[in-house]
Amino acid sequence: MKKTISCVAFLAIILMLSSCNKAVDPLVGDYSYKTSGSVSVQTATDTTTHQLNETYGQMNIINLHSDDSIMIVMNEWEGKVYTVKCIAHEGGYVIPQYVKHVQINGLSSINNKYDVYASGTATIYGKNTIVIHETYTGIIHPDFSDTAIVEGNNILTIAQRN
């Protein structure tokens, strides 16, 4: 009887371990990151290009153990925290649309921080680097303009494993 219970327990452990999602395990961990890029700002009268304020922070990749999903948690040094569930797709991960608070440099505005929609893809290089390509879109209301459209597709985040 004791031998049967031991065998059943052993088989249960083997089944649990074999059902773990091995595809994302190498990603799981802590990273340091830097985000930079530029956006175009279109008002009623013209379109200008502006640099985003570079952001730095800590990123944590969490294995969700379902459908090759991961959770990316980005803690900016300035205090903002973004949490995004990403789905595996063609060797990388798709980052669905989420709202991000960004600082757009060079606008003639008292407050140059705005909420935009961000989405993109994450690609893994080697065991220690994640590159995130994002697109930002949104409508903002700078202090000296009624409405402006923000678009940017060259936003890049480089994350290195700690």
Residue 49, pLDDT > 90, answer yes
Residue 17, pLDDT > 60, answer no
Average pLDDT over residues 26-41: 93
Give the H/E segment covering residue 5.
helix 2-18
The tokens for 111 are 């407050």
Establish if 82 belongs to a structural domain.
yes
Task: Round the CA-based radius of gyration of the chain to a whole number and report it.
Answer: 21
pTM: 0.80
CA distances from residue 162 to 22, 54, 59, 127, 155 in whole angstroms, order as listed:
21, 20, 10, 11, 22
CA 55 to chain centre: 13
Dump strand ranges (E) for the chain: 29-36, 38-42, 47-51, 55-63, 69-76, 81-89, 92-103, 113-125, 129-140, 148-161
* Count of structural domains, the chain: 1
Q: How far apart are CA 91 and CA 127, in angstroms?
A: 14
Average pLDDT over residues 32-51: 93
Establish if 113 belongs to a structural domain.
yes
Q: How far apart are CA 55 and CA 154, in angstroms?
A: 15
Q: What is the pLDDT, as a whole number, of residue 90?
A: 87
Give me the residue label for tokens 């649309």: 97
Tens digits of per-residue pLDDT, 55-82? 999 999 999 887 688 999 999 998 999 9
Residue 40 pLDDT grade (very low, low, confident, very high; cuts 50, 70, 90): very high
Which CATH number covers residue 104? 2.40.128
Establish if 18 belongs to a structural domain.
no
Q: What is the pLDDT, as a whole number, of residue 3?
A: 55
Count of CB atoms within 10 A of residue 139's CB?
A: 13
Establish if 84 belongs to a structural domain.
yes
Establish if 149 belongs to a structural domain.
yes
Establish if 87 belongs to a structural domain.
yes
Average pLDDT over residues 91-118: 86
Establish if 19 belongs to a structural domain.
no
Q: Which domain holds residue 62?
A: 24-161
Residue 110, pLDDT > 60, answer yes
Q: Is the dihedral of CA 43, 48, 54, 59 positive or negative?
A: positive
Establish if 45 belongs to a structural domain.
yes
Average pLDDT over residues 27-46: 93
Q: What is the pLDDT, as a whole number, of residue 147?
A: 86
